């Protein structure tokens, strides 16, 4: 059985003739990867997480900040979390994110702004 990354490459190869040369190749590949991830997650059963409270966590301030931001991002609705991930983890610009998510550019910008507002609320409520 092909691995997860092999599945993405097979999909790219099979759909190469469908690629629109007027668009960015990386955006197109990311769209395939995103859809493959969604397909995988739809089939996956929920994973029960054990209590990790007995583990020691490094107390580096940068680590703690990343941990806090990650937990705050998890609280955002998926439509906001996706935009934040694509923007700050994968460094796509708003136009590329709009293409990937197949949404209007202004919708992406609005959702980004709302995500920032929600993150601020979550941060200062804690």
Does the pTM surpass 0.75? The reply is no
pLDDT at 45: 54
Residue 5 in any domain: the answer is yes
* pLDDT value at residue 28: 75
Query: For residue 4, is it within any domain?
Result: yes
CATH of the domain at 88: 1.10.10.10
CB atoms within 10 A of CB 60: 9
Q: Are residues 77 and 126 in the same domain?
A: yes
Q: Which residues contact 100 (CB under 8 A, 6 or more apart)?
A: 27, 30, 31, 34, 86, 92
Which tens digits make up the pLDDT trace of 7-16? 556 777 777 7
Contacts of the segment 67-75: beta carbons below 8 A, 24+ positions apart: 68/123, 69/119, 72/119, 72/122, 72/123, 73/119, 75/122
Residue 103 — very low, low, confident or very high, per pLDDT cuts 50/70/90? very high
Q: What is the mean pLDDT of residues 117-124?
A: 85
- How many domains, in total, are found in the chain? 2
Tell me which residue range forms the domain holding 26: 1-45
Q: Does residue 31 fall inside a structural domain?
A: yes
Q: Is residue 93 part of a domain?
A: yes
Long-range contacts of residues 88-94, Cβ cutoff 8 Å, at least 24 apart = 90/30, 92/27, 92/30
Q: Is residue 15 part of a domain?
A: yes
Cβ neighbors of 32 (< 8 A, separation 6 or more) are 8, 11, 12, 15
Say if 54 falls within a structural domain.
no
């Amino acid at each position: 059985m092909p691995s997860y990354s092999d599945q993405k490459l097979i999909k790219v190869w099979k759909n190469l003739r469908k690629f629109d040369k007027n668009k960015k190749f990386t955006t197109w590949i990311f769209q395939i990867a995103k859809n493959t991830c969604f397909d995988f997650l739809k089939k996956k059963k929920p994973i029960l997480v054990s209590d990790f409270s007995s583990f020691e966590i490094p107390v580096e301030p940068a680590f703690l900040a990343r941990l806090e931001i990650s937990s705050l991002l998890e609280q955002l609705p998926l439509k906001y979390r996706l935009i934040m991930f694509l923007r700050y983890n994968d460094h796509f610009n708003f136009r590329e994110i709009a293409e990937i998510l197949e949404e209007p550019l202004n919708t992406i910008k609005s959702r980004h702004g709302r995500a920032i507002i929600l993150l601020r609320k979550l941060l200062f409520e804690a």
